[in-house]
């Protein structure tokens, strides 16, 4: 069994670069289906989710050349299948991102129901309702979503019930090849959506308003391949900023390679907690000289506090000088992380979608299990300040979204390592 072992109590300092954004790279890879030919993506993170998406594209006929560690050349000119295989796409929820491009290119798609972290219901009703408005007919059976637009895609106005990132992305990618103009009302505003729209516009699409609640797409006849650089990962950045807030030495920690504006609400809340977050041109310098102050937080779509930073901020709140409340409005099962942090000495009580957190003086190292991608990373970060040794298992979750996570922490001076231990004996 592979684990991450952390010896707590060692200060960290220096500079750490973040990789390209997982949540952007996966959608950009899917979008290459819309432009037959060779598209080059730079700053692609070397993580397991990217590897899975690469296999999905190859399974449909694409070829992928790795030009260097973070550059992929994806040739979709020979793609002749509109089916994404179950054994791959069931591994991650981003699988549904190929639906829009396949419908845009072939007017057909067959997609396995999505997998990924067990964070709760993965309803794709808004994807289906929005695409139906564009002329797509759906049939769901045997674990697959069958989509067909026999008359082609036609532009229309779609109002989303919730500012869903996945639904917004699928609608954008489908509608760039639709006839006429599509308007998405109550669109998600995340930076990764802006990155997607920027690449599609470079390909020849006509998208206006990405990053605002109303996105307008004028359909075009065809798109062409481009070279595009993936935006920096704001969630990875936020994770290292929390690590710096906990254990930075006199030098502080510089987290580079991302736009601080993309973490606006996170940085605001951390500053209210007594963390010094100095913004730079391409990152944040983080340090702390006082006790952590309690603060209440609720997760909301961008520009609100991101659900992907909820576990990390809970680590800070659990050590605050007072009580905090975290309200989770996005995923109902995201508090599974809290029970693992309690094993390390945190005082947390869950009531529905609220976490009541009473600050403690410190954590104790323990054996804990990564419940999901962000929760796993947060447990490693908690181990940095814990008394003794923390062992985090089920680290395959962490590898889905963090490139060289242990190595980057080691470069900052953390006493952390990958290790292999015997599987537990079950009688």
List the one residue out of 263, 260, 242, 245 whose CA is nearest residue 374. Answer: 242
Looking at the fold, whether 213 and 242 belong to one and the same domain comes out as no
Looking at the fold, whether 170 and 40 belong to one and the same domain comes out as yes
Distance, in Å, from the CA atom of 187 to the CA atom of 210, rounded to the nearest integer, reads 8
Confidence band for 427, pLDDT divided at 50, 70 and 90 = low
Q: Which segment of 59-73, 101-115, 252-266 scores lowest on mean pLDDT?
A: 101-115
Question: Of 202, 229, 256, which one is at a domain's C-terminal end?
Answer: 229
Looking at the fold, whether 152 and 250 belong to one and the same domain comes out as no
Distance, in Å, from the CA atom of 143 to the CA atom of 46, rounded to the nearest integer, reads 29
Confidence band for 92, pLDDT divided at 50, 70 and 90 = low
Confirm or deny that 93 is annotated as ligand binding: yes
Q: Edge-to-edge, what's the strand order for the sheet holding 323-327?
A: 297-298, 323-327, 354-358, 347-351
Q: By percentage, how much of the chain surpasses pLDDT 70? A: 95
Looking at the fold, whether 317 and 196 belong to one and the same domain comes out as no
pLDDT reading at 389 higher than 80: yes
Q: Count helices and strands (H / E) in the chain.
A: 14, 24
Looking at the fold, whether 57 and 10 belong to one and the same domain comes out as no
Counted residue by residue, the chain has a size of 427
259 is catalytic: no
Distance, in Å, from the CA atom of 326 to the CA atom of 348, rounded to the nearest integer, reads 10
Residue 6's pLDDT is what? 98
Indicate the DSSP class of residue 230: P
CB atoms within 10 A of CB 421: 12
Residue 409's pLDDT is what? 98
Confidence band for 113, pLDDT divided at 50, 70 and 90 = confident
Residue 94's pLDDT is what? 64
Residues 24-47 as b/e (b if ≥16 CB within 10 A, e otherwise) read bbbbbbbbbbbbbebbbbebbbeb
Confirm or deny that 308 is annotated as ligand binding: yes
Looking at the fold, whether 13 and 26 belong to one and the same domain comes out as no
Residue 222's pLDDT is what? 95
Confirm or deny that 206 is annotated as ligand binding: no
Considering the domain boundaries, does residue 387 fall inside one? yes
The alpha carbon of 425 is separated from its chain's Cα centroid by a whole number of angstroms, namely 34
Confirm or deny that 330 is annotated as ligand binding: yes
303 upstream amide cis, omega within 30 of 0? yes
CB-count burial class (<10 Å; 0-12, 13-18, 19+) for 132: middle
Looking at the fold, whether 198 and 267 belong to one and the same domain comes out as no
Residue 120's pLDDT is what? 41
Query: How many domains does the chain divide into?
Result: 2
Q: What is the pTM of this model?
A: 0.94
Q: Do 112 and 86 form a contact (C-beta atoms < 8 A)?
A: yes
Distance, in Å, from the CA atom of 330 to the CA atom of 3, rounded to the nearest integer, reads 29
Confidence band for 425, pLDDT divided at 50, 70 and 90 = low
Distance, in Å, from the CA atom of 374 to the CA atom of 385, rounded to the nearest integer, reads 18
Looking at the fold, whether 274 and 373 belong to one and the same domain comes out as yes
Question: Of 229, 252, 285, which one is at a domain's C-terminal end?
Answer: 229
Question: Of 180, 208, 229, which one is at a domain's C-terminal end?
Answer: 229
Strand 415-420 and strand 12-17: pairing? unpaired
Confidence band for 117, pLDDT divided at 50, 70 and 90 = very low
pLDDT tens per residue, range 20-58: 999 999 999 999 999 999 999 999 999 999 999 999 999
Looking at the fold, whether 75 and 170 belong to one and the same domain comes out as yes
Residue 121's pLDDT is what? 44
Residue 165's pLDDT is what? 93
Average pLDDT value for the chain: 93
Looking at the fold, whether 190 and 57 belong to one and the same domain comes out as yes
Distance, in Å, from the CA atom of 115 to the CA atom of 95, rounded to the nearest integer, reads 8
pLDDT tens per residue, range 250-305: 999 999 999 999 999 999 999 999 999 999 999 999 999 889 999 999 999 999 99
- The active-site residue out of 29, 62, 94, 117 is 117
Q: Do 373 and 205 form a contact (C-beta atoms < 8 A)?
A: no
Which is more confident, 343 or 330? 343
Confidence band for 122, pLDDT divided at 50, 70 and 90 = very low
Indicate the DSSP class of residue 263: G
Residue 426's pLDDT is what? 56
Considering the domain boundaries, does residue 426 fall inside one? no
Q: What pairs with residue 217 in β-bridges?
A: 182, 207
pLDDT tens per residue, range 362-374: 999 999 999 999 9
Distance, in Å, from the CA atom of 423 to the CA atom of 427, rounded to the nearest integer, reads 13
Instruction: List all residues 6 or more positions away from 145 whose beta carbon is below 8 Å from its beta carbon.
Output: 96, 99, 109, 110, 111, 112, 113, 124, 128, 138, 139
pLDDT reading at 196 higher than 60: yes
Residues 406-416 as b/e (b if ≥16 CB within 10 A, e otherwise) read bebbeebbbbb
Residue 45's pLDDT is what? 98
Residue 123's pLDDT is what? 63
Considering the domain boundaries, does residue 86 fall inside one? yes
Looking at the fold, whether 170 and 264 belong to one and the same domain comes out as no
pLDDT reading at 379 higher than 70: yes
Q: Do 234 and 21 form a contact (C-beta atoms < 8 A)?
A: yes
Looking at the fold, whether 311 and 409 belong to one and the same domain comes out as yes
Q: Do 409 and 377 form a contact (C-beta atoms < 8 A)?
A: no
Query: Which domain covers residue 300, as residue numbers?
Result: 2-19+232-420
Confirm or deny that 291 is annotated as ligand binding: no
Residue 423's pLDDT is what? 75
Residue 119's pLDDT is what? 36
Q: What is the CATH number of the domain that holds 79?
A: 3.65.10.10
């Amino acid at each position: 069994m592979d684990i991450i072992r952390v010896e707590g109590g060692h200060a960290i300092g220096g500079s750490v670069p973040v990789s390209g954004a997982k949540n952007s790279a996966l959608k950009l890879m899917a979008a290459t289906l819309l432009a037959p030919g060779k598209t080059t993506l730079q700053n692609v993170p070397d993580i397991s989710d990217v590897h899975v998406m690469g296999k999905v594209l190859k399974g449909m006929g694409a070829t992928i050349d790795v030009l260097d560690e973070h550059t992929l050349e994806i040739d979709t000119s020979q793609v002749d299948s509109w089916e994404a295989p179950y054994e791959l796409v069931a591994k991650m929820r981003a699988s549904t991102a190929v639906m829009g491009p396949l419908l845009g290119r072939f007017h057909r798609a067959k997609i396995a129901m999505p997998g990924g972290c067990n964070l709760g219901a993965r309803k794709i009703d808004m994807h289906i309702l929005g695409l139906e408005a564009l002329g797509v007919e759906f049939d769901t059976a045997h674990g697959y979503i069958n989509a067909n637009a026999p008359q082609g895609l036609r532009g229309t106005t779609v109002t989303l019930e919730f500012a869903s990132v996945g639904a917004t992305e699928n609608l954008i990618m489908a509608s760039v090849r639709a006839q006429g103009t599509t308007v998405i009302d109550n669109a998600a505003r995340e930076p990764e959506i802006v990155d997607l729209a920027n690449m599609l516009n470079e390909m020849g699409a006509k998208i206006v308003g990405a990053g605002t609640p109303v996105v307008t797409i004028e359909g075009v006849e065809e798109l062409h391949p481009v070279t595009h650089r993936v935006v920096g990962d704001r969630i990875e950045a936020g994770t290292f900023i929390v690590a710096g807030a906990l254990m930075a030495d006199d030098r502080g920690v510089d987290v580079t390679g991302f736009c601080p504006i993309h973490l606006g609400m996170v940085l605001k809340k951390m500053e209210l907690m007594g963390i010094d977050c100095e913004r730079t041109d391409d990152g944040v310098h983080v340090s702390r000289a006082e006790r952590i102050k309690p603060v209440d937080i609720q997760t909301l779509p961008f520009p609100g506090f991101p659900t992907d930073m909820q576990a990390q901020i809970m680590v800070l709140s659990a050590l605050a000088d007072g009580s905090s409340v975290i309200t989770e409005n996005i995923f109902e099962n995201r508090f599974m992380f809290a029970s693992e942090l309690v094993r390390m000495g945190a005082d947390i009580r869950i009531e529905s979608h609220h976490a009541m957190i009473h600050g403690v003086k410190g954590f104790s190292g323990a054996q804990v299990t990564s419940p999901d991608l962000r929760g796993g990373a947060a447990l490693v970060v908690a181990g940095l300040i814990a008394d003794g040794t923390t062992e985090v298992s089920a680290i395959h979750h962490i590898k889905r979204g963090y490139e060289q996570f242990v190595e980057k922490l080691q470069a900052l001076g953390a006493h952390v390592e990958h290790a292999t231990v015997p599987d537990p004996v079950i009688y």
